[in-house]
């Protein structure tokens, strides 16, 4: 049985596919849903909880976070061929999520995003707000552990510089 999402960006209720939660009215989403690989399903199932926690920190709303994450996963399903053939499916998925969470937001950027690069801010959120380890952060964001270590170090230096400079 299809679920009904509370609303779409247009404010209308959207019917969804029982397998993916993607809007069933979209032929691209329906086609992608029918052709999802087991790897994509496993990836979605394993990353959804962390994505939801991240989105909730950024959006400060359970319902809005759930819609953003499900929308991002639907976007990923719709472009699954390109995503699965990319160098890093997690990197494509993360970029898709961050676009959904931050894109179209009418609110001002949060403090971290005013002070740090997006990647640094995300690494800080995942590390210090969600308590994830370097390895988990690297897997979620689709980058190497040294990149995460570097981003966290740069974020710490930038924040310390701001604190001392004021």
Mean pLDDT by 10 residues, the chain (166 residues): 39 47 53 59 90 94 94 88 84 94 65 89 96 97 97 94 73
Q: Where are the domains of the chain?
A: 1-107, 108-166
Position 147 scores a pLDDT of: 98
Position 23 scores a pLDDT of: 56
CB 144 within 8 A of CB 105: no
Position 83 scores a pLDDT of: 80
SS3 15: strand
Residues in the chain: 166
Position 13 scores a pLDDT of: 43
What's the CATH number for 108-166? 1.10.10.10
CA angle 5, 35, 20 (to 5 degrees): 20
**Residue 33 phi, psi dihedral angles, 5° rounding:** -60, -40
Position 162 scores a pLDDT of: 81
Residue 150 to residue 152: CA distance in whole angstroms: 5
Query: Model pTM?
Result: 0.76
Stated as kind and residue range, the H or E segment containing 112 is helix 111-115
Residue 95 to residue 21: CA distance in whole angstroms: 20
């Amino acid at each position: 049985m299809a679920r009904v999402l509370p609303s779409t960006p247009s404010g209308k209720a959207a019917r969804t596919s029982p397998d993916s939660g993607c809007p069933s009215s979209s032929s691209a989403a329906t086609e992608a849903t029918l052709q999802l690989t087991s790897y994509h399903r496993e990836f979605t199932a394993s990353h959804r909880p962390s994505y939801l926690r991240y989105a909730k920190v950024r959006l400060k709303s359970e319902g809005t976070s759930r819609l953003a994450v499900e929308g991002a996963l639907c976007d990923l399903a719709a472009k699954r061929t390109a995503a699965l053939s990319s160098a890093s499916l997690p990197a494509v998925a993360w970029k898709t999520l961050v676009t959904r969470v931050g894109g179209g937001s009418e609110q001002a950027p949060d403090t971290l995003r005013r002070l740090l690069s997006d990647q640094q801010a995300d690494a800080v959120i995942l590390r210090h707000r969600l308590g994830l380890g370097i390895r988990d952060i690297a897997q979620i964001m689709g980058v190497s552990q040294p990149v995460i270590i570097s981003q966290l170090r740069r974020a710490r230096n930038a924040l310390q510089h701001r604190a001392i400079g004021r």
